[in-house]
Chains A and B, each alone.
Chain A
Amino acid sequence: MKGIEEQIRATSSQLLAAGDVQLVIGYGAGSDNSKTMPVFIKRAEDVGKLVFNPLCVSNLANYLLHWNNFEGKIAIVVKGCDSRSIIRLLQDKQIEREKIVVLGVNCPGQLKSGQAEAKIPVEAVLSEATVDNGGIKLQTSGGLITFSLEEGLLEKCRQCESSRPVVSDYLFGEKGFEADKAALQFNDVAALEGAPLEEKSRYWDKYFERCLRCYACRNSCPACSCRECVFDMVEPDWVAKTVNLSDNTAFHMIRAFHVAGRCTDCGECERVCPAEIPLRILNRKIIKDIKELFGAPMPGSDLEALPALSFYAVNDPESQN
């Protein structure tokens, strides 16, 4: 992956030096060696801060919303999954295509945060990384650290629809991770769908009960582009601010509804949840239903395909019965 990293740095340097972009949003070294964090580069001489490795799990697209009053052009590093957010933001008219340069990466796959934290010593500096069928191998100053795909590969990578970005101006990396066809079948959702009602109720009650209502899921979500959020409003009081099972459940249902047809399954909400609520299951249930009911593609995979729930067509499958 050193090659990808070098290409990102070289291209960013060129773009900044030539004045083609005024800002590069990418990944940089994290607060400890098991993490990366977003970096915002405005000068060509700073491109050395950009990294790319299997620790680049987050989706940077959300930062485009933070910078949407920026007067210059912005280059942004996206993986296959993140690129769908770019399409979605374009469809929601939150960004302008001509102001964005997409640095796409054919993503080889990403490492589970928990595994990274457990196995990478704080002082071990990463020098090279590979992801292939043999597993995830990290060459560090503290020696070679390996993970089998089974233990190390992120769940969402295992279910990855396209590791190749659906939109990009520059494309780095030879070939991305190819998920097993069977893993694309929403088996995680189907398993819960098949459970008895009481069990499903217990399952969600257990998680929703412990929600802190910190709204990290919302804040990290690239689909949450409202200027004012219903969860912050006092009038109308869409949902009470109190933290209890009833209001927490209402909060999570409304959050899921608000991203329905627009959620690209980037998994940020679940990644940032301090209470470890399996929010992707909720999002993926809706993605699966929309797919089955409307035959709609994964949101963000096609710039021309409007979200299934945001237009009306006379030949809508729902209006046929």
Chain B
Amino acid sequence: MQRIGVFICWCGSNIGGVVDVPAVAREAAKFHGVVYSAEYKYMCSEPGQEMIVSAIKEHRLTGVVVASCSPALHEITFRKNIARAGLNPYMLEMANIREQCSWVHQHEPEKATKKAIDLVRRAVAKAGKLEPLFESTIPVTKKALIIGGGIAGIQAALDIADAGNEVVIIEREPTIGGKMVLLDKTFPTLDCSACISTPKMVSAAQHPNIKIYTYAEVEEVKGYIGNFSVVVKQKARSVNSKCTGCGTCWAKCPTKNIPNEFDLGMSMRKAIYIPFPQAVPNRPVIDRERCRQFVKGKCGVCKKFCPTDAIDYEQGDEFVTENVGAILVATGYDLIDWAKIYGEYGYGKYPDVITGLHFERMVNASGPTGGKIVRPSDGEQPKTVVFVKCVGSRDEAKAREYCSRACCMYTAKHAHQVLEKIPGSQVVIFYIDVRCAGKAYEEFYLKTLHEGAIYTRGRVSKIYPEGNRLIVKGADTLLGRPVEVVADMVVLATAMIPAEGSADVARTVGFTVDKDGFFQEAHPKLRPVETNTGGVFLAGACQGPKDIPDTVAQASGAAAKIIGLLSHSEIAGEPTIARVNEAMCSGCLACREICPYRAIEPKEIVERLPGKQVTRVVASVNSGLCQGCGACTVACRPGALNLKGFTNEQLLSEVDALCL
């Protein structure tokens, strides 16, 4: 038999000004199982908490009801409070007589008092059925896995590894570095992107705590927070670890003229190649779809010339299992395929209509043109360059509704670079709005404006060729008149979209995506780097479009969360999870199909029957995966599954108490 103590809070006048608190306390004393009932001005205050502690001891209470504010506010406070008196912290039930009573019925004090009594009766009924709960402990593997080796993944890897944890990076491409190494100078400081990102790539590669898989993908993820088991697919590189990166193979390779993806097809590479000279690892890969040895079955030039016998045509895909405690997803973005959507800009037919990323490669000193801004069609220097912003962004009708956030700034940077590098050049920028919210961003935009960039507010309706130039037709909505510009080159600021294959990553790892396919954070403000799946974190543009400073900040934020998780050798598991009454379970496993967290597994048990033993299957709950939603308990007809802290017995008694 429970000995329940009821403590009713005035919360100053918040409750006491509406509800007749002494009357509630008097009524509560009469409820079944209640041996002590008291009221106090502020139950959460030090004297209030002391009052509960001494009452527990004096009256040998086994359960406590606190009628005050919402449990969302002070449940943890009072749990700790009763634990101080030696009670199990889960022997507490709260009655919400402030948010759900005095504050919403302040004009009906009599009804509010009656309702407060009802709410306390419910809490007492549940308290009578409470049972001590114990947090389980989940061991934590002190190792993190990072999917995506762009700047977000690299930054987080360095932060986590510097804190003394092991890190594994999985990168799909043959090199880490992501999109940032493609860029030329970065706004607003105009420092060279490669100069600041390649040292980080090298640091990651040389860090004793970091292991990097490039040309690899995540095949399967099993387990839960602290205990993930990840199968990594190492795609066949055809070059083994004996490679020193000397470069003989790609110098000798006879298969030329393959468009280099790294330069967006503006330069050519061989069939055995490294994407760019600073690639990490500095180890080539054979493009098996183009290599003569693979296509025609004969060549073998690279193998012949390789001084270290590193070429391995027989190499197959390998699968490696990594056990980790946390997963960071940093798969970045891709640019929208504008050519499929924007017929008015020529569907990609006109060579001199390029994207911002093409421009980045072109203006980069290590790029395909050695840093010269030239027209792809004839290699001539353009005199008039038109920039079109929001191509695919902020376009509900044809593409994406959201703002891609980085384009205003990089377009301003591009404009500055044209004006700086091409004397006497003219730059026209079509925009919807100029959004430069960031430290030193507005100043950068104004500088570009003062340098002579012509900002024209309006959308471009058509681009078409005339002679060897392009006619850009648009509107100046500020002047309210059509505009026509004769341009030598047009640069489109295309929308950022989730990286190709990111939906598969979300499905494999097991978390949700938002309406645009970006990865869903657990809370847009308060939990921006976590997913709803315990132990899985997010960083960078995979969560939503963002620029480099925001990406790096978010990566360090996620790293801090992961370091926090990995700093424990064990974490406490929520005790409010489902449990199985094996004697009652018939093994139908309806619960398994219902469970959104895949926390229910079949388990064989041996049962004694008269004269024999039988083996049969019952459901079992994985305490690491169960999130305590209780859906399984409803799927289970006899109630063999029950949810600790919200049991069938407790809920039925609450219903009865409230309906009285």
Q: Which residues of A contact B (CB under 8 A)?
A: 69, 92-94, 225-230, 233, 235-238, 258, 306-307, 310-312
Residues in A whose Cβ lies below 8 Å from that of B648: 236, 238
Check A230 against B637 for contact (C-beta < 8 Å). Answer: yes
Residues in B whose Cβ lies below 8 Å from that of A69: 609, 612, 614
Residues in A whose Cβ lies below 8 Å from that of B199: none
With the chains together, A228 CA to B583 CA distance in Å?
9
What are the interface flags for B632-643 relative to A under an 8 Å C-beta threshold, 1 for contact and 0 otherwise?
000101111000
Check B586 against A94 for contact (C-beta < 8 Å). Answer: yes
Check A228 against B588 for contact (C-beta < 8 Å). Answer: no
Check A93 against B584 for contact (C-beta < 8 Å). Answer: no
Check A93 against B638 for contact (C-beta < 8 Å). Answer: no
Check B583 against A92 for contact (C-beta < 8 Å). Answer: no
Check B585 against A227 for contact (C-beta < 8 Å). Answer: yes
Residues in A whose Cβ lies below 8 Å from that of B635: 310
User: B29 in the interface, Cβ–Cβ < 8 Å?
Assistant: no
Looking at the complex, which one of A225, A228, A233, A306 makes contact with B593 (CB distance below 8 Å)?
A306
The 5 A-B pairs of least Cβ separation, nearest first, read: A311-B593, A226-B638, A92-B588, A236-B649, A236-B648
Q: B573-626: which have CB < 8 Å to A?
A: 583-590, 593-594, 596, 609, 612, 614, 617
Looking at the complex, which one of A227, A306, A310 makes contact with B584 (CB distance below 8 Å)?
A227
Looking at the complex, which one of B588, B609, B639, B647 makes contact with A93 (CB distance below 8 Å)?
B588
With the chains together, A69 CA to B649 CA distance in Å?
32
Residues in B whose Cβ lies below 8 Å from that of A238: 639, 648, 652
Known contacts: A230-B637, A235-B649. The answer to whether A225 contacts B588 by CB under 8 A is yes
Check B586 against A225 for contact (C-beta < 8 Å). Answer: yes
- Interface majority SS (helix, strand, loop, mixed), chain A: loop
Check B638 against A230 for contact (C-beta < 8 Å). Answer: yes
Residues in A whose Cβ lies below 8 Å from that of B586: 92, 94, 225-227
Check A312 against B596 for contact (C-beta < 8 Å). Answer: yes
Check A226 against B637 for contact (C-beta < 8 Å). Answer: yes
Check A310 against B652 for contact (C-beta < 8 Å). Answer: no
B579 CB to closest chain A CB (Å) equals 15
List 22 A–B pairs whose Cβ atoms lie within 8 Å, in order of A's numbering: A69-B609, A69-B612, A92-B588, A92-B590, A93-B587, A93-B617, A94-B586, A94-B587, A94-B588, A226-B637, A226-B638, A227-B583, A227-B640, A228-B584, A229-B638, A230-B637, A230-B638, A233-B639, A236-B649, A258-B637, A310-B590, A310-B593
A256 CB to closest chain B CB (Å) equals 12
Residues in B whose Cβ lies below 8 Å from that of A93: 587-589, 617
Residues in B whose Cβ lies below 8 Å from that of A227: 583-586, 638, 640
Check A230 against B639 for contact (C-beta < 8 Å). Answer: yes
Residues in A whose Cβ lies below 8 Å from that of B589: 93
B585 CB to closest chain A CB (Å) equals 7
Check A237 against B637 for contact (C-beta < 8 Å). Answer: no
Residues in A whose Cβ lies below 8 Å from that of B594: 310-312
B473 CB to closest chain A CB (Å) equals 42
With the chains together, A312 CA to B409 CA distance in Å?
45
Residues in B whose Cβ lies below 8 Å from that of A306: 593
With the chains together, A14 CA to B376 CA distance in Å?
84
With the chains together, A258 CA to B588 CA distance in Å?
13
With the chains together, A235 CA to B648 CA distance in Å?
9
With the chains together, A229 CA to B640 CA distance in Å?
10
Residues in A whose Cβ lies below 8 Å from that of B649: 235-236
Residues in B whose Cβ lies below 8 Å from that of A311: 593-594
Residues in B whose Cβ lies below 8 Å from that of A236: 639, 647-649, 652
With the chains together, A235 CA to B639 CA distance in Å?
11
A225 CB to closest chain B CB (Å) equals 6
> 18 extra interchain contacts, Cβ-Cβ under 8 A, other than A94-B588, A311-B593?
A69-B612, A92-B586, A92-B588, A94-B586, A94-B587, A225-B586, A225-B588, A226-B637, A227-B583, A228-B584, A230-B638, A230-B639, A236-B648, A236-B652, A238-B639, A238-B648, A310-B594, A312-B594
Check B587 against A228 for contact (C-beta < 8 Å). Answer: no
Residues in A whose Cβ lies below 8 Å from that of B614: 69
With the chains together, A236 CA to B654 CA distance in Å?
12
B47 CB to closest chain A CB (Å) equals 39
Looking at the complex, which one of A92, A94, A237 makes contact with B652 (CB distance below 8 Å)?
A237
Residues in A whose Cβ lies below 8 Å from that of B612: 69
With the chains together, A268 CA to B585 CA distance in Å?
25
With the chains together, A226 CA to B638 CA distance in Å?
6
Give the residue among B583, B586, B589, B596 with the most A Cβ atoms within 10 A. B586
With the chains together, A81 CA to B492 CA distance in Å?
66
Give the residue among A235, A236, A238 with the most B Cβ atoms within 10 A. A236
With the chains together, A92 CA to B587 CA distance in Å?
8
With the chains together, A312 CA to B595 CA distance in Å?
9
Known contacts: A310-B593, A311-B594. The answer to whether A228 contacts B609 by CB under 8 A is no
Nearest B residue to A230 by beta-carbon distance? B638
Q: B641-657: which have CB < 8 Å to A?
A: 647-649, 652
With the chains together, A235 CA to B586 CA distance in Å?
19
Residues in A whose Cβ lies below 8 Å from that of B652: 236-238
B155 CB to closest chain A CB (Å) equals 34
Nearest B residue to A309 by beta-carbon distance? B635
With the chains together, A236 CA to B581 CA distance in Å?
13
Residues in A whose Cβ lies below 8 Å from that of B585: 227
Check B638 against A228 for contact (C-beta < 8 Å). Answer: yes
Residues in B whose Cβ lies below 8 Å from that of A258: 637
A83 CB to closest chain B CB (Å) equals 19
B131 CB to closest chain A CB (Å) equals 13
B599 CB to closest chain A CB (Å) equals 14
Residues in B whose Cβ lies below 8 Å from that of A307: 590
A237 CB to closest chain B CB (Å) equals 7
A226 CB to closest chain B CB (Å) equals 4
B643 CB to closest chain A CB (Å) equals 13
Residues in B whose Cβ lies below 8 Å from that of A94: 586-588
Nearest A residue to B631 by beta-carbon distance? A312
With the chains together, A233 CA to B581 CA distance in Å?
14
Nearest A residue to B614 by beta-carbon distance? A69
B514 CB to closest chain A CB (Å) equals 15
Nearest A residue to B595 by beta-carbon distance? A312
Residues in A whose Cβ lies below 8 Å from that of B593: 306, 310-312
Nearest A residue to B653 by beta-carbon distance? A236
Give the residue among A92, A228, A312 with the most B Cβ atoms within 10 A. A228
Give the residue among B584, B590, B635 with the most A Cβ atoms within 10 A. B590
A233 CB to closest chain B CB (Å) equals 8
Nearest A residue to B650 by beta-carbon distance? A236
